[in-house]
Structures are given as structure tokens and as C-alpha cells.
Amino acid sequence: MINLDLAINHGLFYVDETPIRVFKNKSRIGVNYPSQQMHIKCSIWNGEPCWREAPFMAKFQGFNIHGCQYYNKPNKAACYSPHLWWNQNMYWELNSHQQRAYEDVRNKYLFYDYCSDRGMLQKECKIK
């Protein structure tokens, strides 16, 4: 299961409920952060296409989208409401279990981090 939680303060990417990427919103200091409407696209490709079998079909089960339409909304403040589950304090940071899982994934699978070899060139690398 793949999950993306994109909130005002950060974007969290999960695989099987394990966080694999945390992207903090640092737009105040000039780091790009998603600010446009999002679209979901999917592609299935095993590297050896047999075009005679096209079209390739995919089925999704248990697929949910929760969001707040920010653009073209007369009252944008509604998207910051504490009544929306993703704006509650408990979702602003990883909990201790998620943080350990995230660190384990980074230690086991991260083989390149551009911040470690040329971090001074990127604003987001200067932030802890």
C-alpha cells in the first residue's frame, strides 16, 4: 500500500504504513513545496512491454482521497481548520514508532543523499 499525506506543514510518503520520505514545508525560506492542484496517475510497466496485449488494465481497491480544495475557494482559511484530521497536532510530526521506522528505512535503503555531497547548494539541506 502506498500512501501520500500532503499537508500544510509537510509531505509524508509511506509504503505499507512505513514512512520512507519526509518533506518539510520550508517555502517561507524559498524551498519549493507543492502549491498546485495534484493529480493521481498510475503506470504499470515491467520493462518488457508486449504491445499486442494492450491496453494494460489496473484495478484499485480501498482507494480514498481526503483533501481540501484550496484554489478557487472563497474561504481558503477553511483548509487550515483544526477540524480537518490532517491539521491536528498529532499529524504534524511522526510519532516515535514512525520516526524509528523512518530511520530504519533510511539506514537500510538510502544509498545516496544529495545533501551529504553538495548540500550547501540546496536550501533544504541547510535545515535540520
Domains and CATH numbers, the chain: 2-126 (2.60.120.200)
In the three-class reduction of DSSP (H, G, I as helix; E, B as strand; rest coil), residue 21 is classed as strand
Q: pLDDT per residue over 42-74, tens digit each? A: 666 666 666 676 666 667 777 777 777 666 666
The reported pLDDT for the residue numbered 99 is: 95
Answer yes or no: pTM beyond 0.95: no
Instruction: Please give the single-letter amino acid code of residue 107.
Output: N
Cα-based angle 113, 116, 122 (whole degrees, multiple of 5): 90
